[in-house]
């Protein structure tokens, strides 16, 4: 399974460099996530901008990962989209360690048999 996870970016123009960075960072973490969660179907990053007329823009970013069993949803908001991408990647990586430890947990029934 060398297929990459489909990743969509909604709410930012295609020529925006921050969008490219957001896609590359989150896409890299998704590729790592395939080892722990092989049933990932697709991922979507939704960006909402506020105060676009001023000198600074406030971003509300929601990342949704659709798996065969459920959806993982992460959201962040900040003035800097690069900080948001780092925080979202960190949240996903933290959640992956939880899934990985649950997967390697030994069975209670096997403990009683010993």
Q: pLDDT tens for residues 64-83?
A: 999 888 888 999 999 888 89
In a domain, 56, yes or no: yes
Q: Cα dihedral angle (41, 10, 21, 32), rounded to 10 degrees?
A: -10
In a domain, 71, yes or no: yes
Q: Does residue 104 carry a pLDDT above 60? A: no
For residue 39, the surrounding DSSP H or E stretch is: none
Residue 1, domain member (yes or no): no
Express as a percent the part of the chain with pLDDT over 90: 11
- Cβ pair 48, 11 in contact under 8 A: yes
Here the CATH number for the domain that contains residue 47 is 3.30.160.100
| 51 within some domain | yes
Supply the pLDDT for residue 44. Answer: 92
Domain contains 101 = yes
Q: Which value, in Å, is the radius of gyration of the alpha carbons in the chain?
A: 17
Q: What is the pLDDT of residue 50?
A: 84
Q: Quote the domain boundaries for residue 93.
A: 7-113
Q: Domain tally for the chain?
A: 1
> Is 2 among the domain residues?
no
Q: What is the pTM of this model?
A: 0.74
Residue 38 within a domain: yes
Q: What are the tens digits of pLDDT across the range 38-72?
A: 788 889 999 998 876 777 888 899 999 998 888 88
Query: 56: helix, coil or strand?
Result: coil
């Amino acid at each position: 399974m060398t297929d990459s996870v489909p990743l969509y970016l909604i709410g930012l123009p295609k020529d925006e460099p921050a969008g490219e960075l957001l896609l590359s960072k989150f896409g890299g973490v998704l590729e790592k996530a395939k080892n722990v969660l092989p049933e990932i179907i697709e991922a979507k990053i939704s960006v909402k901008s506020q105060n676009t007329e001023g000198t600074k823009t406030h971003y509300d970013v929601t990342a949704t990962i659709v798996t065969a069993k459920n959806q993982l949803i992460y959201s962040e908001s900040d003035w800097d989209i690069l900080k948001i991408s780092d925080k979202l990647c960190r949240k996903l990586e933290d959640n992956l360690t939880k899934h990985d430890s649950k997967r390697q947990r030994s069975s209670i029934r096997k403990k009683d048999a010993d």
